[in-house]
Every structure is written in C-alpha cells, then in structure tokens.
Amino acid sequence: MSHLVAPSLLAADFGNLQLDIEMVNNSLADWFHVDVMDGVFVPNLSVGTPVIKVIKRYAKKPMDVHLMIIDPGRYISHFKDLGADILTVHYEACTHLHGTIQQIKEQGMKAGVSLNPHTPVKLLEEVLSDLDLVLIMSVNPGFGGQSFIPGTLEKIRKLDELKKKHRLNFEIEVDGGVTLDNAESLVRAGVTVLVAGNTVFSSDDPVGTIKKLKELK
C-alpha cells in the first residue's frame, strides 16, 4: 500500500499562506496537516479559527487537523464546521477517550488519536478498532523544527504489530523531525502517513521534496 504525505502548515510562510497552500494543491501531497495548539496542553500557540478558514477556502485536499489542546471534546463540532476531514485528539488530553472518538465520528469526520513520546502504544489497544488513524509524535509536541526521537521507530513497529494482530486498517501517522534521510525507515516500520513541515517548506524545491517523500518504497 502506498503511503500518504501530509505537509504540515505549521512550517508554511504565513505571509504567503495562499501561495503555500496552492503549492501543496499542485504537488503529489495527499493531505494538509494543520496543528492547533492552545498554550496549555503544549507550551505554544498556533493557528486559530480565522487561519483555518483561509486554509479551507483554498485547500483542494483533505484537511488533517491535529488538536494539541485540553478538553478537545468541547470543540469537535467547531472543527467540523471549520471543515476538518480528519480530527485527531491526544490520548493524554481525554478523560473519556472512547466517547470523544464517537463524537468525532458522529460529526462525520475520521477519528484519530495521538500519542506523546512517553505514552506507550499498548494503552490504545482497547480503542484501536474504533480509530481511523493513530498519530505517533516523534518529537515533544509544541514546536516545529525539532530532531526526531530515535526510539520512535520501535514504537511504530509495536503499533504495526497490534494493527496486524487485530487485522485493522487504521493509518499510522508520524509527525516530528521527518526528513528525506529517515522517511524510508519510517515507511518500512509501518508508517502510512508522513507529516513533514520544515523538510518541505524550507526546501528550495518543495514540490520536488514532496515527490521524493511520496515515491519512497
């Protein structure tokens, strides 16, 4: 199965956001990855409602929204209204994770759960059959441009083993420090969605970089 590529708009040039969105539209990328941070769950703030409206206005590909916020269940219908196609919440931010997953699905979106670097994949085993996506954070969430945490590869392999054991079809997404140097090993470990921010948007040839990420075997 071919993997997907989701450029992270956290690394885009917000002074020329429409141009960067159109670049992704015209590339081999599959999704737009949009990070939402509240300054509480993670020590940073990111895009808010007005920016997401702009992204949705110009994006011609699915919007993959990653909520790094406390109490995400309160805002599920809000992000549906903003146009999210995939909505991912953090395991660490949800008191009633199963209920939050069901709320996302009831709104007609695909449901994802993200794990911080310290959180083991085995904690998701009881809800994996309800998920469309599991997002493995390969850096500590909150800031772009961090280096990849090497132990993430083994974590991805464990998740892929659970996926095969239970014969499930959820996407395995990885976010943080993804480069042309490590992307192939990530795909071989079981990743089906590569999120790349600085690697794409700091490149001299973003379209070409996306193509290289997409064509990895």
Domains and CATH numbers, the chain: 4-214 (3.20.20.70)
d(CA 96, CA 86): 19
User: Average of pLDDT values for 71-80?
Assistant: 95
Does the pLDDT at position 1 exceed 60?
no
Q: Which of 20, 35, 38, 132 is catalytic?
A: 35
- Angstrom distance (rounded) from CA 94 to CA 37: 15
pLDDT at residue 163, as a whole number: 97
Question: Two tokens at 113?
Answer: 């759960």
20 within 8 A of 198, measured Cβ to Cβ: no
pLDDT in tens, 114-152: 999 999 999 999 999 999 999 999 988 766 666 888 889
Structure-block tokens of residue 160: 């892929």
Q: Which pLDDT value is given to residue 152?
A: 94
64 in active site:
no
pTM of the model: 0.94
Question: pLDDT tens-digit profile of 3-57?
Answer: 999 999 999 999 999 999 999 999 999 999 999 988 888 877 777 788 899 999 9
Q: What is the mean pLDDT of residues 164-189?
A: 96
Please, which residues have CB within 8 angstroms of residue 65's CB and are 6 or more apart in sequence?
34, 36, 52, 79, 82, 84, 86, 87, 88
Which of 140, 137, 199, 189 shows the shortest CA–CA distance to 8? 199
Residues for the chain: how many in total? 217
Active site residue 35: yes
Could you tell me what percent of the chain has a pLDDT over 90?
A: 83
